[in-house]
Each structure stands twice: as structure tokens, then as C-alpha cells.
């Protein structure tokens, strides 16, 4: 049997485009003599459709798309993912389903059993869990179809409090009773740099446990903050990897099942991948798909001469093309000459249009207007924030006038401790670096410069500063970023309590201050733009902390 995997980039709710892409791949596979073609989870409607699933017209258009795709499935077997109606009177209205199409009809439906409801996932909100199991027989082969989590019976643990056995049932244990010859897993698994090998190991472990080949097809592309990296896998029965499909791009490959069964194909997979390179590629894909799927073409951001805006502008230029980017340099009286020059040099290196708009007159007008109210009060962070808000207003004016979508350039370290200004540098339609710690921003800059100097070396080597007061440095009020980011990672990603973080040798007063800053600035993050997610615990939908909670 010849099995083909079609790793595609879908657009949520764009049934016409998704259906067209699927049918194009079906026709291609027919011409290639493929027996079975497999698409990813919820491929018909796109993943995750969220509350669109509660709209009757959305489900009706989904069913129309399934009918159109099914009519094209003659002379070839096809597996697609789509929501289907629960015909029973009880339970949720929908299932998350894998449909086997053959001879121009739906011959088999396998519904998803394990519905993730953690982090960014909320499937139990919409879908009824499956409780019936069977396999299909096709071309002399018995095929067990699983949907994403249904093969993820053992969860990688992030902290000691989490369960590594999350569910009460293991679907593959039910399916193995039918003595299948092959496992097919259709998935929508987003990228996380902290779990690059974790996902592969799941399929390796299942192949070895059941002594069966595993075909995993993942979707690719970004859906607002979620970035799906593709990287679909074929694993031999002995647990060796037969092939890994492209990362961060569409792909289509054909496999001879007999060769996979006999472990003839083996691919050498890098066991120590360049994590920073993958973060870079994921962010480029995230920006590109946000603009293309929203129908936007032009972007803007504030280029300060600092490392965050430097990395963000490179990512954006690579995602959209430098001709679609116009940036503003917004110096105040505290901006150093070298920062302005660094920003100019970077824009010239990239071929990006830039304008210099001095903000001091605007800032002075605000301060003069407030002088009566503030006459008996010393200057403090308020005056610094006025500078940030003046910049934010000017950037939004350019966005409004020319239709350039403003991108936010704040990093995760700043967002964590509240070192950003509401209605100022927090402005933007999308946060490019909001899930990237400052130490990794430096690594991204070095990666960008690996072949030639794109980002001026002075931008990378100089001490980070917001330049909102004379000789200001980030370390005036924060520890060095290497220390800060280790504390933040332990608290946010690993969810460790203070006592465990202190065991790593950090100063108690410092740890307590940092954690207090994280907790006290939740209200700011509620108002932040969507953040491109690259980790296992990004700010946003995957981290839900009540604003009014009294807990430290």
C-alpha cells in the first residue's frame, strides 16, 4: 500500500480555500498512484475553530465541504479531520472526528476520545468524547485511526504537581484488540521549543510498544498566536524514525507501507536541534500567516536602536518583505546618538523605509499641560511613561493613516515583570517577541548575524536601556537578564514554588521581589495584544490567572 501524507496550512473558517487545497492534493495523489491519502485534525474547518463551532451556519458549511471532498474520493482512500454532528439526544452537539472516505462516500468515522482541556486547549467545551472503537480494513491492511491526543496517553510533566497519566482510558489499548497492522494519527499540535523531542518520543514509544508503524500527520501554519510547525513523522515498528516532513512549511510525501513495516527506511534526525533557529522560523511564520490570513499587507513598528525592536524588524521583514514595512525612529532628548545611528543602519541593511519623528515637543506639551496638576509632586515614572505613550500615539497615527498594522516588540521578560507601558510600548495588533525571554532575544540577534552583520553589533553589545532618563540601564532596577530569566522560567514555565526556586541558589529577597512583580502585573498582560506562542506556557489564553486573586 502507498500512503501519502499531506501537511497543509489551513485557514480557520475558510471552507472554500481549505476544500480546494484538499481536493488539489487528492487529485495529485491519484495521479501518483497513492492508495491512502491522509490530512490532519479538523483539516476541513481549520484548527482551533473555537466558538465558531457554536454557529449553525459554520457547521452547515463544514458539512457541505465534506460532501464536496467526499465526491472526489473515487479510486483512492482519504482520511480527513472535521467536526461531525452527535446524533444522540444527550451530550455535546459535536464530535471531533476522523472520516475515512472511499468510493465517493463516508465509509467510517472515528471520533476523538481524549479531549484536551489545559493550556491553550479547550476541546471539551465543544466536543463529546468518544466511547466506541473500531478499525478499518482497506487494501488488505487493518488501520487504527487515532486523533492527536488519543495517542498521547502519557503526558510530559512540567512540574511535580502535574499528572503524567492525564486520562482514565488509553484509546490505543482498545484499538489494539482488533489487531491493526498500522497506526495513523491525525493531529494539530502547536510548536513549543521546550518540547521539540517530547512529541517525537510519543510516537516512537507507541511504535515500539505496539510493534506497529506509526504515521503522524500534523498541520502547519499559524492561527493568530498558535504556530503549528508541521514536522509530521513516520516511525518504524522498532521505534526508529523513517522520515520527518518539513518544519514550518507545507509538504507532501508518499511512503511504501511494506518498506515501513520492514524498517527499510531510516532517517538520521538531529538529536540536538538548533532551538534558536526553530524559534526564528516559527516567529517568521507566525507574522506572515497573521498578516496573510487577516488580509493585511503592510506593517510598522518603532525602531529604537535597541535589541528587541531590531530582532522584531528583521523577523517582520523576512515574513512580509522589506517593501511592506515602514518603521519610525522616535528619539527623545534622552535618546543617544548611537541608538539613532544603529536604528538607521539596521533599516538601511534591510532596505526598510524609515522616518525620524522627534517626540520631545510632544512630550513637553504633555508635561506643560500637566504642570499645574503636578506642580507639588516630584518627577517619577509618570514622566517616563509619557514618552512611551507619545511614541505609541504617533505609531498608531501612522497605522491609522496608511493602514500599516503596528507590531509590538516587547519581550517576555519585560511582560513578566511589568516593564512595559500600557497605551505606549504595549500598543500593537500582534506581539512578535512576547513569548521570547530577553536572553533568547540576544541569541536570536546572534543567529540573525551568523553569516553577516544585519543587526549592528553595537545594538547587541551595549547594555539594554529604555532611554527614558539620563544614563538609564535595565539593570538599575532589575537583576541581569541571565538571572532574571532563570527565575522567570522556573516560576512561569515550570510553575515551581518559591521554596524550590531558592534551592537553585538564588537570593531569597530577589526571588520574592520578582515573583511579586509577575503577580502584580497580571492586569497589564490582560490588555496586551495576542502573543506569538513558542513555549509551553505563554502569556495569554494558555495562562489564566484571576486579576483580583490575593495569592503570593
Render pLDDT for 391-403 as a digit per residue (tens, 0 to 9).
999 999 999 999 9
Confidence (pLDDT) at 269? 80
Pairing of strands 105-111, 251-256: unpaired
Confidence (pLDDT) at 161? 46
Catalytic residue among 148, 225, 244, 414: 148
Residue 337's pLDDT band, with cuts at 50, 70 and 90, is confident
Q: Is the pLDDT of residue 38 over 60?
A: yes
Q: What share of the chain is helix, strand, coil (3-state, %, to 5)?
A: 40, 20, 40
Query: Cβ-count burial of 447 within 10 angstroms (0-12 exposed, 13-18 middle, 19+ buried)?
Result: middle
Catalytic residue among 112, 438, 443, 537: 112
Q: Is the pLDDT of residue 158 over 60?
A: no
Q: Where in the chain is the domain with CATH 3.60.110.10?
A: 2-270
Instruction: Say what the pTM is.
Output: 0.94
Residue of 356, 443, 416 whose CA lies nearest to 391: 356
The predicted model gives 178-183 an average pLDDT of 98
Range picked from 167-181, 193-207, 424-438 for highest mean pLDDT: 424-438
Which neighbouring-strand residues pair with 141?
A: 138
Confidence (pLDDT) at 461? 93
Least confident piece of the model among 56-60, 245-249, 379-383, 427-431: 379-383
Give yes or no for a contact between 254 and 34, defined as CB atoms under 8 angstroms apart: yes
Query: pLDDT (tens digit, 9 = 90+) per residue, 493-511?
Result: 999 999 999 999 999 999 9
The predicted model gives 270-274 an average pLDDT of 83
The predicted model gives 161-179 an average pLDDT of 79
Cα gap 443→487, rounded to integer Å: 18
Torsion of CA 203, 205, 206, 212, to 10 degrees: 100
Query: pLDDT (tens digit, 9 = 90+) per residue, 425-465?
Result: 999 999 999 999 999 999 999 999 999 999 999 999 988 87
Q: What are phi and psi of 378, to 5 degrees?
A: -70, 155
To the question of domain 278-471 being in CATH 3.40.50.620, the answer is yes
Residue of 79, 78, 2 whose CA lies nearest to 35: 2
Pairing of strands 77-85, 36-38: parallel
Q: Is the pLDDT of residue 163 over 60?
A: no
Helix axes 307-320, 275-294, angle to 10 degrees: 60
Q: What are phi and psi of 111, to 5 degrees?
A: -90, 155
Residue of 422, 4, 22, 62 whose CA lies nearest to 215: 4
Instruction: State in words which class domain 2-270 has.
Output: alpha beta
Cα gap 4→36, rounded to integer Å: 6
Residue 379's pLDDT band, with cuts at 50, 70 and 90, is very high
Q: Is the pLDDT of residue 160 over 90?
A: no
41 is catalytic: yes
| Mean pLDDT over each residue of the chain, to the nearest integer | 94
Query: pLDDT (tens digit, 9 = 90+) per residue, 307-326?
Result: 999 999 999 999 999 999 99
- Cα torsion 432, 438, 443, 445: sign: positive
What is the percent of the chain with per-residue pLDDT over 70, rounded to a whole number?
97
Q: Where in the chain is the domain with CATH 3.40.50.620?
A: 278-471
Residue 203's pLDDT band, with cuts at 50, 70 and 90, is very high
123 is catalytic: no
Residue of 27, 37, 39, 31 whose CA lies nearest to 2: 37
Q: Is the pLDDT of residue 349 over 70?
A: yes
Q: Is the pLDDT of residue 551 over 90?
A: no
Cα gap 392→421, rounded to integer Å: 9
137 is catalytic: no
Confidence (pLDDT) at 471? 74
Amino acid at each position: 500500500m502507498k500512503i501519502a501524507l499531506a501537511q497543509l496550512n489551513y485557514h480557520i473558517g475558510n471552507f472554500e480555500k481549505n476544500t480546494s487545497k484538499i481536493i488539489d492534493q487528492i487529485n495529485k495523489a491519484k495521479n501518483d498512484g497513492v492508495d491512502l491519502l491522509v490530512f490532519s485534525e479538523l483539516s476541513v474547518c481549520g484548527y482551533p475553530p473555537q466558538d465558531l463551532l457554536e454557529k449553525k451556519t459554520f457547521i452547515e458549511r463544514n458539512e457541505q465541504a465534506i460532501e464536496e471532498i467526499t465526491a472526489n474520493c473515487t479510486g483512492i482512500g482519504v482520511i480527513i479531520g472535521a467536526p461531525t454532528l452527535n446524533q444522540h439526544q444527550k451530550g455535546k452537539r459535536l464530535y471531533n472526528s476522523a472520516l475515512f472516505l472511499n468510493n465517493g462516500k463516508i465509509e467510517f468515522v472515528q471520533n476523538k476520545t481524549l479531549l484536551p482541556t489545559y493550556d491553550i486547549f479547550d476541546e471539551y467545551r465543544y466536543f463529546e468524547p468518544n466511547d466506541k472503537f473500531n478499525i478499518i480494513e482497506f487494501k488488505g491492511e487493518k488501520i487504527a485511526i487515532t486523533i492527536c491526543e488519543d495517542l498521547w496517553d502519557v503526558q510530559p510533566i512540567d512540574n511535580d504537581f502535574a499528572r503524567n497519566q492525564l486520562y482514565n482510558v488509553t484509546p490505543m489499548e482498545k484499538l489494539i484488540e482488533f489487531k491493526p497492522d498500522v497506526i495513523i494519527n491525525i493531529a494539530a499540535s502547536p510548536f513549543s521549543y521546550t518540547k521539540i523531542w517530547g512529541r517525537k518520543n510519543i510516537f516512537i514509544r507507541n511504535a515500539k510498544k505496539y510493534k506497529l508503524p506509526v504515521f503522524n500527520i500534523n498541520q502547519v501554519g499559524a492561527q493568530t498566536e498558535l504556530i503549528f510547525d508541521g514536522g509530521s513523522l513516520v516511525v518504524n515498528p522498532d521505534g526508529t524514525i523513517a522520515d520527518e516532513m518539513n518544519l514550518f512549511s507545507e509538504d507532501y510525501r508518499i511512503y511504501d507501507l511494506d518498506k515501513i513495516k520492514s524498517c527499510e527506511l531510516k532517517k538520521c534526525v538531529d538529536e540536538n536541534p538548533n532551538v534558536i533557529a526553530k524559534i526564528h522560523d516559527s516567529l517568521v511564520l507566525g507574522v506572515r500567516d497573521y498578516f496573510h490570513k487577516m488580509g493585511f499587507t503592510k506593517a510598522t513598528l518603532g525602531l529604537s536602536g535597541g535589541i528587541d525592536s531590531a530582532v522584531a524588524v528583521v523577523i517582520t521583514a523576512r515574513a512580509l518583505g522589506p517593501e511592506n514595512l515602514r518603521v519610525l525612529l522616535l528619539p527623545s532628548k534622552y535618546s543617544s546618538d548611537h541608538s539613532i545611528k544603529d536604528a538607521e543602519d539596521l533599516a538601511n541593511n534591510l532596505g526598510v523605509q524609515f522616518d525620524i519623528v522627534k517626540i520631545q515637543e510632544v512630550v513637553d506639551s504633555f508635561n506643560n499641560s500637566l504642570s499645574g496638576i503636578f506642580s507639588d509632586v516630584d518627577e517619577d515614572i509618570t514622566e517616563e511613561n509619557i514618552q512611551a505613550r507619545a511614541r505609541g500615539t504617533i505609531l498608531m497615527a501612522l497605522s491609522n493613516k496608511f493602514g500599516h498594522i503596528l507590531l509590538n516588540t516587547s519581550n517576555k521578560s519585560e511582560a513578566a515583570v511589568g516593564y512595559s507601558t500600557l497605551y505606549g510600548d504595549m500598543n500593537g495588533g500582534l506581539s512578535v517577541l512576547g513569548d521570547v525571554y530577553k536572553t533568547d532575544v540576544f541569541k536570536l540577534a546572534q543567529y540573525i548575524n551568523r553569516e553577516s552583520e544585519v543587526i549592528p553589533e553595537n545594538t547587541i553589545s551595549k547594555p539594554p536601556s529604555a532611554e527614558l532618563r539620563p544614563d538609564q540601564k535595565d539593570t538599575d532596577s532589575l537583576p541581569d537578564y541571565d538571572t532574571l530569566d532563570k527565575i522567570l522560567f522556573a516560576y512561569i514555565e515550570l510553575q515551581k514554588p518559591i521554596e524550590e526556586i531558592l534551592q537553585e541558589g538564588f537570593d531569597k529577597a530577589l526571588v520574592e521581589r520578582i515573583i511579586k512583580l509577575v503577580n502584580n502585573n497580571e492586569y497589564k498582560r490582560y490588555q496586551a495584544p495576542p502573543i506569538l506562542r513558542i513555549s509551553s506556557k505563554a502569556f495569554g489564553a494558555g495562562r489564566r490567572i484571576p486579576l483580583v486573586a490575593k495569592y503570593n
